Structure 1
Amino acid sequence: MDTAPPAASSLSAGDRPEAAPPALQSTRFLYLYALAAAGGAVAYVPFLTMLLPVRVSSLAGEEAVSVLAYTAFAGATAASLANIAFGWLSDLTGDRRPWIVAGLVLSCLLLVSVRTAASVPVLIAFIVAWQVCLNMMLAPLAAWAGDLVPDRQKGLLGGLLSFAPALGALSGALVTLPAVASADARLGLVAAMVVAMVLPALVFGAPRPMPQLMIPRKPEKAVDTGGRAARTAVARMWLARLLVQIAEAMLFAYLLLWFRSIEPGYSDNDTATLFFVVLGLGVPLALLTGRWSDRADRPIAPLAAGAGIAAIGLLLMALAPSLTLAITGYVAFGLASTVFLALHSGQTLRVLTRPQTRGRDLGLFNLTNTVPSLIMPWFALALVPTFGFAALFLLLAGLAALACILLLSISRRA
């Protein structure tokens, strides 16, 4: 099995300058990597959205809502710091896979052990430790793609990464079927699925070495115009993702309540079905869009279009007088944001051009996934009680439109 060359080491004999590096990564590795990335989503989506709330309710009773909030805050903080730390450590060691394996084993063991937590403080301690170990796997796994996937395939990579949220949602539906497993056994089932999805890339992936992606680059001087342009592109990519993620997280939390404010009989199953359909339709759309961006050499254009369409969808939702138009607006937003987030993950590797700090820098980008959960409750409390959901969606439409403008301002070659 080929290994990713160390970020700061010289090229091996097999990678002599006179031997041209392969132009493209193998499709086998790309597909197995996408499966591993989906395994990362399966590791936390069903647990955080369904299994953990049930566990908290059984321990905390009437205090479940506040306990769940504290648990989520502690877990998100631990995840943010751990993602940066383990990404940085994998940069220093020059080999991602030992960290991925260690994080996989430890996080699965802790996940299964959650059932032994007999009190709220112990449960929160388990969650914090689990988040640390999970990000020991996730951070190097994300950086591994940057080590091995060339720019010409980053659109395809982003499209393949769209499977992750869809499979995460599907795994939650499967493990919670009454006939599948008991409450405790569900944790073991999730851990088994994660192992089955992550290991194949490590054991059978056999990626082609890409030494041209591992050449260390010296920091640009402050007077270097190209260096300033690159740093500006990174900052705009980060902020654009944060703005779209705020909108996406807000709808994930409040969509059912909004639908019921329009149609009181709208059920939670209706909402769950709509979520899954939108995620499912987003997968082929992201794949097609990603392939187009590779062939046309237009990496940023689909991101700007996705943010712009998401803004239009949110505007429709703000003005929706009926459930039909409300669902139409959400479908437009959901498809656009699904494609945006998937392709953004691939193209982020394009703008983070320093392999010696790739893992750490991706950890900083990961903050765009955790910070929204700290921001969105304040938006909702400030706007919904007084002005209704329409004002909230108008604000979110403005954020998505700003993300579109930021991306349009990035050079085509960024």
Structure 2
Amino acid sequence: MSKVTKNINGSVSSASAAIAALPTRRVGGRWVTFFALSWFGVWIAQLTPVQLLLPLQLEELLATTDWIQNVLGFGTISGIAGAFALVAYPLTGALSDRTTSRFGRRRPWIAAGTAGFAVSLLFLGFQHSLVGIGVCWVAAGIFFCVLTAALTAAISDQVPVNQRGYVSGWISAPQAMGIIAGLVLVTTLGLGTFGGYTLMAALLVILVLPFLLLVPDAVLPRGVVSPLTWRSLLEGMWISPRAFPDFGWTLLSRVLVNLGNAFGTSLLLYFLMYGLQVADAEGSLILLTLVYMVFVIAASLWLGRLSDRLGRRRVFVFFASVLQATAALILAFVPTLGAATFAAALLGLGYGCFLSVDQALATEVLPDQLSRGKDLGIMNIALTVPQAFAPMLGAVLVSLSGGFTLLFLVSGITALAGALAVGQVRSVR
């Protein structure tokens, strides 16, 4: 082997080791602030349509007095979008792992995801047909995956293990704030669907820009990661649970807990309107969301940091899953607005803890640090796809039973199964 070849191979090996190495330098307040703002923009743009704008848009379009048909229409569109996310997440992650742009690996995908997501929302506001709404929501979902796959990979790229619980809390806390902020803005300003979607798109762009423009992103040298082929992509989609059991158990627990949470929350507006038949369903939704928000923020930031200090993840995720199951069972067997308010507090406490600590747990069970974008993309499937399919599956449960009791019962059982799954993780305390 020539000296030049040895030097090239040595340089590639050194670069590969540097990229794969776990970060050790703690990120500062500026980094965390911009990261949190980005997720606030993401969640306000994603969840305001899910909780309010999209159901109302479909209800106006379908113009039927059969509320179950409204639920099924919403669930079908959401489920189709979820199917596309199955491919979008790992594909985007794999591509960002190999991106050698002078702007960095993740930054181009953050930019593309933000722009595409915002434009999709704008076009969604113009739609007056079921097909048009479906196409635009699928596009919005794909670009949501592009953006969030790159943002979550930034944690593994730049945040040390003993800070990941706290930093991951700044994914879940903005989620709660995004829901309530979006609902309050749309209802207080009296915005229609077009005005609501336009405002969400503008806020998304404004809030992501600081992280996109001001946070450095390491440049990947050419030749460090092998080129992406269809074969390598398809092979990379399968991570053997036999070879990497902790990755498999963590993924399964994520799917189950997020599915249980989505069953309990995605049809909440319909539950208030048609299950409890409250006089002001939108106002009650804001009240429950506000309670949920307070407990999500407190749990995600406090318990995420406590998890870092104790160096423990599993017990927190188990506790969080049980709390969510308890909240769902309360909704199933005590269907009153007062019980729903108490359940919202428990759900917020459990889900806030789960989102922050489980995200940190996910980054610690990755099989290969050179493909962490792709592997976290697979993990993100377990975060987003259950939320997309839950309205459709929940609508079927509501339709079969003629009410919401079975829906919340399944929600509780699913969350409990997630708690049992995370208990099988062995490499992380």
Task: Bin the TM-score by the shorter chain.
Answer: 0.7 to 0.9
Q: Does 1:202 align with 2:212?
A: yes
CA apart distance, 1:339? 1.8
Match of 1:234 among 244, 247, 255: 247
Secondary structure at the residue paired with 2:364? helix
Q: Does 1:280 align with 2:282?
A: no
Task: Determine the structure 1 residue equivalent to 2:79.
Answer: 73
Q: Write the letter of the residue equivalent to 1:99.
A: W
How many residue pairs get aligned? The number is 393
Please tell me whether the aligned partners of residues 117 and 123 of structure 1 are also in contact (alpha carbons under 8 angstroms). Answer: yes
Structure 2: which 5+ runs fail to align?
1-10, 227-239
Task: Determine the structure 1 residue equivalent to 2:262.
Answer: 249
Distance change (3 Å), C-alpha of 1:105 and 1:313: closer
Please tell me whether the aligned partners of residues 384 and 392 of structure 1 are also in contact (alpha carbons under 8 angstroms). Answer: no
Instruction: Tell me how far apart the structure 2 counterparts of residues 155 and 87 of structure 1 sit (CA, whole Å).
Output: 21
Match of 1:345 among 359, 372, 381: 359
Distance change (3 Å), C-alpha of 1:377 and 1:297: same
Task: Determine the structure 1 residue equivalent to 2:93.
Answer: 87
**Identity percentage of aligned residues:** 24
Instruction: Tell me how far apart the structure 2 counterparts of residues 209 and 394 of structure 1 sit (CA, whole Å).
Output: 48
Task: Determine the structure 1 residue equivalent to 2:379.
Answer: 365
Instruction: Tell me how far apart the structure 2 counterparts of residues 188 and 350 of structure 1 sit (CA, whole Å).
Output: 38
Once the two structures are superposed, residues 70-126 of structure 1 have per-residue CA deviations (whole angstroms, 9 ceiling, x without a partner) of 422322222332222211111122511111112212222232233444543333333
Distance change (3 Å), C-alpha of 1:10 and 1:280: farther
Q: How does 1:284-299 map to 2 (within 5 A)?
A: 284-299=298-313
Please tell me whether the aligned partners of residues 289 and 344 of structure 2 are also in contact (alpha carbons under 8 angstroms). Answer: no
Match of 1:30 among 32, 46, 68: 32
Q: How does 1:357-396 map to 2 (within 5 A)?
A: 357-368=371-382, 369-371=384-386, 373-374=388-389, 377-378=392-393, 381=396, 392-396=407-411
Q: Does 1:304 align with 2:306?
A: no
Please tell me whether the aligned partners of residues 153 and 372 of structure 2 are also in contact (alpha carbons under 8 angstroms). Answer: yes
Task: Determine the structure 2 residue equivalent to 1:400.
Answer: 415
CA apart distance, 1:270? 1.9
Once the two structures are superposed, residues 221-264 of structure 1 have per-residue CA deviations (whole angstroms, 9 ceiling, x without a partner) of xxxxxx97871111111111221112211111444666689865
CA apart distance, 1:172? 1.8
Instruction: Tell me how far apart the structure 1 counterparts of residues 411 and 73 of structure 2 sit (CA, whole Å).
Output: 28
Q: Write the letter of the residue equivalent to 1:98.
A: P
Task: Determine the structure 2 residue equivalent to 1:143.
Answer: 153
Match of 1:154 among 148, 157, 164: 164
Task: Determine the structure 2 residue equivalent to 1:413.
Answer: 428
Once the two structures are superposed, residues 30-60 of structure 1 have per-residue CA deviations (whole angstroms, 9 ceiling, x without a partner) of 2211221222212211223323334444544
TM-score normalised over the length of structure 1: 0.80
Distance change (3 Å), C-alpha of 1:409 and 1:38: same
Task: Determine the structure 1 residue equivalent to 2:45.
Answer: 43
Instruction: Tell me how far apart the structure 2 counterparts of residues 383 and 61 of structure 1 sit (CA, whole Å).
Output: 20
Moved more, 300-309 or 324-333: 324-333
Distance change (3 Å), C-alpha of 1:317 and 1:186: closer
Secondary structure at the residue paired with 2:53? helix
Task: Determine the structure 2 residue equivalent to 1:5.
Answer: none
Secondary structure at the residue paired with 1:202? helix
Task: Determine the structure 2 residue equivalent to 1:221.
Answer: none
Once the two structures are superposed, residues 124-162 of structure 1 have per-residue CA deviations (whole angstroms, 9 ceiling, x without a partner) of 333323332332222212212211111111110122222
Q: Does 1:121 align with 2:134?
A: no
Task: Determine the structure 2 residue equivalent to 1:184.
Answer: 194
Please tell me whether the aligned partners of residues 173 and 300 of structure 2 are also in contact (alpha carbons under 8 angstroms). Answer: no
Instruction: Tell me how far apart the structure 2 counterparts of residues 348 and 365 of structure 1 sit (CA, whole Å).
Output: 7
Please tell me whether the aligned partners of residues 295 and 352 of structure 2 are also in contact (alpha carbons under 8 angstroms). Answer: no
Structure 1: which 5+ runs fail to align?
1-7, 217-226
CA apart distance, 1:323? 5.5
After superposition, the CA RMSD in angstroms is 3.8
Match of 2:369 among 355, 361, 386: 355
Once the two structures are superposed, residues 318-355 of structure 1 have per-residue CA deviations (whole angstroms, 9 ceiling, x without a partner) of 45486645543442233212321232123211212422
Q: Write the letter of the residue equivalent to 1:79.
A: A
Instruction: Tell me how far apart the structure 2 counterparts of residues 155 and 133 of structure 1 sit (CA, whole Å).
Output: 26
Q: Write the letter of the residue equivalent to 2:359.
A: S
Distance change (3 Å), C-alpha of 1:111 and 1:333: closer
CA apart distance, 1:202? 1.9
Match of 2:175 among 165, 168, 177: 165
Task: Determine the structure 2 residue equivalent to 1:335.
Answer: 349
Moved more, 235-244 or 111-120: 111-120
Instruction: Tell me how far apart the structure 2 counterparts of residues 187 and 254 of structure 1 sit (CA, whole Å).
Output: 20
Instruction: Tell me how far apart the structure 2 counterparts of residues 381 and 116 of structure 1 sit (CA, whole Å).
Output: 29
Instruction: Tell me how far apart the structure 1 counterparts of residues 285 and 126 of structure 2 sit (CA, whole Å).
Output: 32
Distance change (3 Å), C-alpha of 1:264 and 1:72: closer
Instruction: Tell me how far apart the structure 2 counterparts of residues 49 and 326 of structure 1 sit (CA, whole Å).
Output: 16
Distance change (3 Å), C-alpha of 1:231 and 1:132: same
Please tell me whether the aligned partners of residues 264 and 408 of structure 2 are also in contact (alpha carbons under 8 angstroms). Answer: no
Instruction: Tell me how far apart the structure 2 counterparts of residues 410 and 165 of structure 1 sit (CA, whole Å).
Output: 27
Secondary structure at the residue paired with 1:413? coil
Secondary structure at the residue paired with 2:27? coil
Once the two structures are superposed, residues 200-225 of structure 1 have per-residue CA deviations (whole angstroms, 9 ceiling, x without a partner) of 112222479999xx999xxxxxxxxx
Instruction: Tell me how far apart the structure 1 counterparts of residues 216 and 199 of structure 2 sit (CA, whole Å).
Output: 27
Q: Write the letter of the residue equivalent to 1:366.
A: N
TM-score normalised over the length of structure 2: 0.78
